[in-house]
Amino acid sequence: MKTRKRDSELVYAGKVPETSILENTVGAPLEPVKRFGGTKGWANMLVSGENMAALKTLLEMKREGRLKNTDGTRGVRLVYIDPPFSTNLKFKGKKDQLAYEDKLAGAEFLEFLRKRLVLLRELMAEDGSVFVHLDSKKAHHIKVVMDSVFGEENFLNDIIWSYGGRGAKHISSKFSRNHDIILWYQRSSHIFNRTFVGKRIKKGTAGFREDSDGRWFKTSPRGDYTDKSISALTKEGRVYRTKNNTVRIKYYLREDGDWLIEDKLVGDVWDDIPDAMHLGESEKTGYPTQKPEALLSRIIKTATNEGDLVLDAFAGAGTALAAAEKLGRRWVGIDSGRLAVHTIEKRLLTVKGSKEIEDPKKRYSKGPSPFTLFEAHEGGCAHCEEPLVKSDYSYDEDTDDLVIKIKKFTSHARSAKGRFKNFETLSTVMIDYDFDGEVFNLCGFFTARELEGKGYEIRFPADKARGEIMVIYSDIFGNEKWFVGEVLAHG
Ligand SMILES: C[S@@+](CC[C@H](N)C(=O)[O-])C[C@H]1O[C@@H](n2cnc3c(N)ncnc32)[C@H](O)[C@@H]1O
């Protein structure tokens, strides 16, 4: 590993040397527990577990050449992380489910993130980028940490995501906080695909004119154009002279009916993406701190090309993963929270080509995304609060179907009003018709809403079940109860 010469050093309590982070972190075995779709060649990975240990294992995979972009280069082309911001808050889902606690503060928070950033840097491809999503309370601290981990020379941008007015409170004694800060660093070089946004302007708006050939344009001052450049632009018909004979430069605009579209190069202030409170119903997962897909889509398009590998080590509701999936990128997601992992599973299994996100090849409009759920094993009880499920499993002679009739589904958790009603906490049911005894392979997937419409009955042709079948019932907290059963001779 190369060491950098520095003229300053960041010191705080509990800071450990980089060599110790890289050498002494113990990797967690990643055991595949569920597979969703085909796994020939590369399969995207969702890892349920603490990210430090999982990152160390991914580093081993990189060294062995098992963590690659489609073009064969080793390592991750884009890391995006949106870690807890040291808010000292508990985050809950829309039905009051605990998502995660954000407790670390001060030096402990800095060291928590620095350790992960050191491992992430090693996981990145040489032309890989890292985007770290923070707010104004911690961004300045983490920028100094990132300067020390990546080198100041590898800093690219601090992007201001101005997510729109939540309205200043009348009693507030300062400006309302309406932005997050996203720090962008490279490992040693990076991909940069420029982004333009089309601003729509009604034809006839002051400052926008129609040329003699019918094209619309706006003008801007000549700035530092030399006389030579001005004569070249005059020949191209790009110079406009005002009544006072002042030279201005013409910029032509696209048209869409009564509208003009001005393509503007996106800079480091992003104010055209509203926050998650304004998401459409189809995008809302109910997971707290969910970010908009449009934001992740912009980051991914900027710093990667199709087939590149995207890693989110604090995946939450899986926004980066869903955006990567829709944009034809490979992805790896890690989260230690049960609710997060369940939210991601459900989200990725229902990902379809989206109107908001450009999907030129329409690759993702059919079937669930192929990915594997790994559990990073460090001990502990993965599913301590399994829900209570009562189902009848039967064979329907008339239709030659196997039938699962769910009669009762309750969770241990209590709502503010007391016990949840029957089915109120059911989230999904997944089936493997041909369970191999080790890894669950998804064959059927049903959401609670679909099941309600079917009277909580699932049917599938009996000849699909060749050996054991495995049924996994999940509640809205991400707790699972599974059944494995052999189909006895029938018909
Ligand atoms: C702010 S949320 C991420 C939200 C995400 N960007 C989205 O759009 O949904 C942070 C996530 O980090 C996870 N997390 C916190 N500490 C972690 C750790 N040490 N290992 C893995 N995941 C962790 C939490 O469970 C939480 O889901």
Whether residue 57 is found in the same domain as residue 161 = yes
Helices 106-123 and 51-63 pack at an angle, to 10 degrees, of 20
**Rounded mean pLDDT, 60-75:** 96
CB of 335 shorter than 6 A to ligand 1: yes
Mutate to test the pocket of ligand 1, among 314, 321, 348, 375 (most ligand atoms within 8 A of CB): 314
Residue having the nearest C-alpha atom to atom 2 of ligand 1:
316
Q: What does the pLDDT read at residue 361?
A: 42
| Parallel/antiparallel/unpaired status of strands 371-376 and 44-48 | parallel
Domain boundary residue, one of 376, 411, 443: 376
Q: What does the pLDDT read at residue 359?
A: 41
Structural domains of the chain, count: 3
C-alpha–C-alpha distance, residues 364 and 347, integer Å: 13
DSSP 85-112: -S--EEEE-TTS-EEEEE---HHHHHHH
CB of 478 shorter than 6 A to ligand 1: no
Domain boundaries, position 237:
196-265
Q: Ligand 1: distance of its center to the CA of 56 in Å?
A: 17
Whether residue 366 is found in the same domain as residue 326 = yes
Confidence of residue 332 (pLDDT cuts 50, 70, 90): very high
C-alpha–C-alpha distance, residues 341 and 50, integer Å: 12
Mean pLDDT of the chain: 89
CB of 292 shorter than 6 A to ligand 1: no
Q: Which of 10-19, 47-56, 356-365, 463-472 has the lowest mean pLDDT?
A: 356-365
CATH number of the domain enclosing 433? 2.60.40
Confidence of residue 364 (pLDDT cuts 50, 70, 90): very low
Please check whether residue 12 lies inside any domain of the structure: no
Say yes or no to pLDDT of 430 above 70.
Answer: yes
Q: What does the pLDDT read at residue 5?
A: 61
Amino acid, res. 82: D
Q: What does the pLDDT read at residue 100?
A: 77
Q: What does the pLDDT read at residue 357?
A: 41
Domain boundary residue, one of 322, 347, 376: 376
Domain boundary residue, one of 341, 376, 411: 376
Q: What's the chain's length in residues?
A: 491
Say yes or no to pLDDT of 276 above 70.
Answer: yes
Q: What does the pLDDT read at residue 51?
A: 96
C-alpha–C-alpha distance, residues 406 and 457, integer Å: 6
CB of 239 shorter than 6 A to ligand 1: no
Give pLDDT tens digits for 368-421. 678 899 988 765 555 568 899 999 999 999 999 999 999 999 998 877 777 888
* pTM exceeding 0.85: yes
**Rounded mean pLDDT, 348-356:** 63
CB of 291 shorter than 6 A to ligand 1: yes
Q: Which of 12-21, 36-45, 195-204 has the lowest mean pLDDT?
A: 36-45
CB of 334 shorter than 6 A to ligand 1: yes
Whether residue 81 is found in the same domain as residue 180 = yes
CATH number of the domain enclosing 321? 3.40.50.150
Distances (CA, A) of 341 to 50, 198, 346: 12, 36, 9
C-alpha–C-alpha distance, residues 213 and 238, integer Å: 13
Sheet strands (E) in 176-278 = 179-186, 196-202, 208-210, 216-221, 239-241, 247-252, 254-256, 259-265, 269-270
C-alpha–C-alpha distance, residues 245 and 476, integer Å: 69
Q: What does the pLDDT read at residue 490?
A: 55
CB of 288 shorter than 6 A to ligand 1: no
Q: Ligand 1: distance of its center to the CA of 126 in Å?
A: 26
